[in-house]
Structure 1
Amino acid sequence: MAIGLGLLAVFGLGPEWVQAPVSVLVMILGMVALYAGPRRNLRPADRLPWRLIRVAGFLFIVASVIRALVPATMATPITAMSLIPNSFVLPAYLCIGLAFTVMLRRRRAGEDDPARIDALLVGLAAAFLTWTFVIAPAIDSAGLTPFQILDALFPIIDVMLLVLVAQLMLAGGVRQPALWMLIVAAAAMFAGDLLFSLRDALIVDAPEATITALFLTLFVLIPASALHPSSRSLVEPQQIAVRDMSHARLVVIGLVVAVPTVITSLMPLGSLANDLIRAALCALLVLLTLARVVRSNNQRVRAERATRRRATHDALTDLPNRELLSDTVARWADRATAEHLEISLLFIDLDRFKMINDHWGHQVGDELLCAVAGRLGEQVRAEDVVARIGGDEFVIALASPSHLRLAESLADRLLDELARPFELSVGDVVISASIGVAKSTGGAHALELIRDADTAMYKAKGSGRNAYAMFDTSLRELVRDRVKLEQALRGALERGELAVHFQPIVDLATEELDGFEALMRWHSPELGFVSPIEFIPIAEETGMIEEMGAWLLRESARQLLAWSGIRGPGARPLHVSVNVAVRQLRDGSLVKNVDDVLRETGLPPDALWLEITESGVMEDIEAALLTLNALHALGVTLCIDDFGTGYSSLSYLHRLPVGIVKIDRSFVDDVGQAGTNEPIVRAVLAMTHAMGHRVVAEGVETELQRDWLRDQGCDMVQGWFYGKADRPANLTHWIERPVPA
């Protein structure tokens, strides 16, 4: 652009003999830029507007060559010869207009945009001025030839191009350099044609150099626009932010209405046709301005409605949100006592919804949420409220006479409905839900009722999911205790309240110590000893288990190294077995944490056993396999914990890179007494040994259980028969124990 504007300065200020070569040079450079710019900045599918502009450029050049070679086409006043170059100029204008139209169609952010009306206002004002000062004088002049009158109509084409450019400018979105160059180029084209028409109509004595310079501006600014990287914004959809009308836009619209009105009032009457056309143009301007005001008001009202709806409805499903649900329940509560109504809330949570997002992505998850919202709406009455208050959490509110069991029957129906497959873009997806039901006759606050239904939902989840549970006051006490426990657990690690206890694991064939299972224990100064059954689930739900698990892994490895140093180099190598929580298994940093611990401590990888539960693996077996294979590649030993209590599938056990299977204590309780679990334990031993795995039996408490397991070929055992989990200081007798004969 700098080179082009420099050449235009030479054209205007230099001697007359440089004008022709400068014109040729500017046109050549412009056409080269029109080829290079779109190829560099745009995809092939986005280059159509610039191809049209290139065609227009060639047509303009052809017209210029004809005018240069045939001086009669440039005679003043003009003659029929002027039609020859104009026959190329007219299609060139049409190509530019079509290019601007394509840009506008691709750039426009929305159909409901005021840019159309504002651009038409600008175009009508320009048309009014052009008619008043160019076309009407040309028509009224008795001395003008038909060719001069026809030439005076050319600015009308520029007005149409101005309307398109004005829409590009006013249609919102970013106004980057490429757009401003097009705007200035269109204005220069309008000014050049206006002077050309005024000169040919013998109204203004405009220098030829000035008109040519304005024309050459097109070959500088439009190619520069194509070269600039912001040309992408001309063919990409733009986001419009709804905002108040700017002062500049208001001033422009005011001038557009005021100037033609003032001119019409001040100018003397002319011919009837001239006055009618001016009056019609003024009337159109007034009517369009009125339409602009009405449209702006309607847009403001719609924007206010949309804002209110966004504040009270969920953006994804368009269901009422928590605020609207609370307001509705509060209104019902005000009249519940007087009308003997019972307000019921069903708190619905989709089971294992995270698996859907993790496996298929959030787009499919959103698709499922919308499908669930649709099914919920089909099951309720018109007066009921279905709301979405969280990620995969929905609430249905009912108001009915207290003797009706609407909530319970609805909960049963919903469990059946949600269990039916959902037809999504990835195929049929089957889910289940847990539902909590809470009721009130009007005394409870809306948020309290939602909280109670939420509490009952967690009771349903704890009962095995795909069920509903009714709220009762005892649940509130449980929640209070849970919150107290959670608050106490936060910071327990930093305060040194956690400890690692170790339980011996013994080789049945030799009665030698093979290793220890590391178990986390918590002693709170406020609550005393807290069972792992109570605090581990809370740690998993809150995410604290990730930091606690990493600490357990590191402490266990350090303790095993310390014990190995005591036993000496000739002793049997020991292992330490550490439990991995489901949340840790999902966390991508588990493999790195294990690798870091092995590197920091120098612990041999095969001395570390990691125990994973069946349910943790099966929640997302494909993702679990990636993590387990990476851990196996580090050389650690993987164990399936509590085998037999979960899925116990041979097909998935065959796929997992495990080396140890641990039989749950519930199957060991009655072995050796002809108990019902003996065939199960035999089958597990035979199956796992056939796969090349070793077996550890948990919960061995009697000599009879130990002997029976040894007779069946079980590899290792642990349990109170050998010792409970204890602090390292109390286990030195195991470390110093002599090898049995």
Structure 2
Amino acid sequence: MDRRVQKQEVLKWAFFESALDAILVIDEKRHVLSLNYAAETLFSLKASDVIGSDVVKLLPFYKFSSLQDGRTEHSLLISNREVTVEITVMAVAIEETVEYMLYIRNMTQEREAEKTLIEAKNRYENLFYSSPLAIMVHREEEVVSVNDAMIQLLGVTEDQLVGKSLYDFFSSEQVPDIKKGLKAVRDRKDEPRPPLAQLKMYNALGKELFLEVKSTLIQINGETLFQTVTRDVTEQKKAQESLQYMAFHDMLTDLPNRSMFSNIVEKSIDSAAASGKKLHFLFLDLDRFKQVNDTLGHHAGDQLMLQVVDRMKSCLRNQDVLSRFGGDEFLVLLHDRTDEEVRKICKSLNDCLSTPFVVLSRDVYLGVSIGVSLFPKDGKTLEVLVRHADLAMYEVKKQGRNHYLFYQKEMQVHTTRRMRIEDGLRKAFELGEMELHYQPKVNIQSGHIVGVEALIRWTHAKMGVISPAEFIPIAEETGVIVTLTKWVLKKACHQNKYWQLKGLPPLKMSVNISSVDFGTTDFVDYVLDVLREVELESRYLELEITESVTMKHVEQTIEKLQILKDAGVFISIDDFGSGYSSFSYIQKLPIHTLKIDRSFIKDLDPNTTEVSIVRAIITLAKSLQLSVVAEGVEEVEQVELLHKEKCDEVQGYYFSKPISAQEFYEKFHKIEEKMEFVH
């Protein structure tokens, strides 16, 4: 019996000492009888320090009445740190006395973890409900919760969303793709960057929305849910689509423009070459159209142009391609026609366009001069075929207009002027025939001149003033453009530095760069060398390149642009909207500015489509954090419209035509004063 009692005592003592929780044993007078190792650790003391003393020394709040009613939780201050404990009291009758065992569990870490969890939950909820981005939490299909931004985006109440299917807002065609995307998120749950998707939907008001969505997996109350963050990119998407459409269509007539026509012709030439069929190209130039614009105005000219296009279409088959080449010029591609059939078409065009048009209640008489070239007889590329059709058209103009001619080799004699220009270009620099004029750019918000564009002018000793529109393309074809651009770049930088020394505010000097220039291996080095030589800070030089430049050797172009941008040189896309650019492509270019093509500014009016186009370009630029310059501004009303649309800078005859360096210096402040008339 003694051995059994002794064994039980040993076991009880082993349990007492090995317990993970602190245990105190006290008598009825609250004196501490014993405590285990866990209690010594919790209270940071030795058993000998407290045995026999009042338990209040350890538990200042000690009251039998409170401790004996189940478990209670209290805070203790132990060694200057706050500890949360859970106390359970058990009364043990020993012979005629009662002892109390106090089980004390340290709950500090658990309570801190709970507090941290609550704080994290509160932070998440605050972010969730206050986020400007629309957020939805959902099981694969069932909506669990939404924030205010999502409710506003969809135009519904929370009750109309929570518990409902998110697929209700999408067309049935999109549902398989959405399911596939969510499955991809679930399968890739360990990847840090979830895939981004674009979706189209309609809100409760029937408005078409384009959304950029990103879904991730989250854990809420032990359940795995999807959290989908949504960004409304509707305006951006529409601007992109508008610009994409503009890149391939003439905005007035809705006809294919040069870019789209080129794409169609390239495919047609490849097909015709393989099949041995013929293609005819018609170059059409309207006779007397410019007089209508000059006498009745551009709005009347636009009305007339639409009537002209309708009549042209009536003379062609659906498979024939009619394109507006620019201004009052058109190109037509005819598939697999005989020469006699083409002659009949040309005569039909002459006849139907000779019948008077009615514009503003007035009879207007036009005609059309047509040049024809034939593939493969007259050329095997679009460039050659158009040039030869153009030569035939000019021969018609010489012979009296409103007729047609097929290209003949003898017509090449009329290229004599071109040859004289080409020869003159090579001598113009040494003869001092070239000079620079400067056209100011005005910040539309501040009214101050912030830059100028350097524009080259040529006065030939015998031929007189030759337009850049005539000699620049020849310079590009012959390679003389490289010498010309280097001369312009150095002279313009010297002039800018001189103006700064003379006291003018620092300005950005813009220089036009051709694709030929950009293709040379030393172009970037030359630009940086000129800046060092002139001691002009790179931020005061801006290079203007066309969209076509960026389309050639894309990777090398981006690399060169990036080097220049990193060096501090500003990069601008000139004539934006007239070429090939798409939103996705522009995003990749290291540029600072989009320069709206003057064709959209020329007839800018609150009631014209040009306003929508300009607004779309500005919206696109702002979304890409680019500045916007409008060129070709001639009227104060145009300035006011552009100011309203938040355009950054304007350039055009309203402020000043291109003028000499000295004249610009003298008229600087007078030019700025013109902004005072803008409301």
- TM-score of the superposition, structure 2-length normalised? 0.42
Give the structure with the higher percent strand. Answer: 2
Give the structure with the higher percent helix. Answer: 1
